[in-house]
Amino acid sequence: MPGDVPQARTATVVVPVHPEFAFDGFTDGIHLWWPMERYSGFGVESHPGFDDRGLSEEAPDGRQQLWAEVRGWTPPSSLVLAWQLAGNPLAPTVVAVTFEAVDDGTRVTLVHDGWAAGVPGRQQYEKYCDWPLILARYARFMGAAPGLD
């Protein structure tokens, strides 16, 4: 149906560190674990990172591309982003990441939602389907051995 809106995508990993370190590894260390070889606007030599604007990628020649604006920054428990990478900056989707202490470390849950209705929403939904693989890369960086089911 034209008005249908896709459901939220959710991906979860557990990393063997306290929430403070999990949050810092996700945010301050994103340039060390983000799979730039697959998910980059400027190529593998560019650098993603958070700054006062949000999450951006900087090319070796200085060009910058805004991936997301920060809508919520609550260390060590949550991060909310208005995600616009390769999308419409006037109609971003929402990426929310939570960091919850568990017996064996921190459960990191990423929820991507806020899709448009109809065909545009289905296109967005299909484009952003690799969060489990991206989070698995983060988890390995943080010392976990996640399954890639």
Average pLDDT rounded to a whole number, residues 62-76? 95
pTM, full prediction: 0.92
Q: Is the pLDDT of residue 36 over 50?
A: yes
What pLDDT score was predicted for residue 149?
44
Q: Is the pLDDT of residue 42 over 50?
A: yes
Residue that the structure tokens 């989070």 belong to? 135
Nearby residues of 124 by Cβ (< 8 Å), 6 or more positions away: 6, 87, 93, 115, 116
CA distance 71 to 54: 9
Q: Is the pLDDT of residue 106 over 80?
A: yes
Q: Is the pLDDT of residue 33 over 80?
A: yes
Topology of the domain comprising 9-39+68-141: Alpha-D-Glucose-1,6-Bisphosphate; Chain A, domain 4 (3.30.530)
Query: What confidence tier does 53 reach under pLDDT thresholds 50, 70, 90?
Result: confident
Q: Is the pLDDT of residue 146 over 60?
A: no
Tokens of 103: 């017996």
Q: Which residue has the higher pLDDT, 91 or 61?
A: 61
Q: Is the pLDDT of residue 24 over 70?
A: yes
What pLDDT score was predicted for residue 147?
57
Contact 38, 131 (CB under 8 A): no
What are the strands, taking DSSP E only, across the chain?
9-15, 47-50, 55-58, 64-74, 78-83, 93-102, 105-113
Q: Which residue has the higher pLDDT, 102 or 126?
A: 102
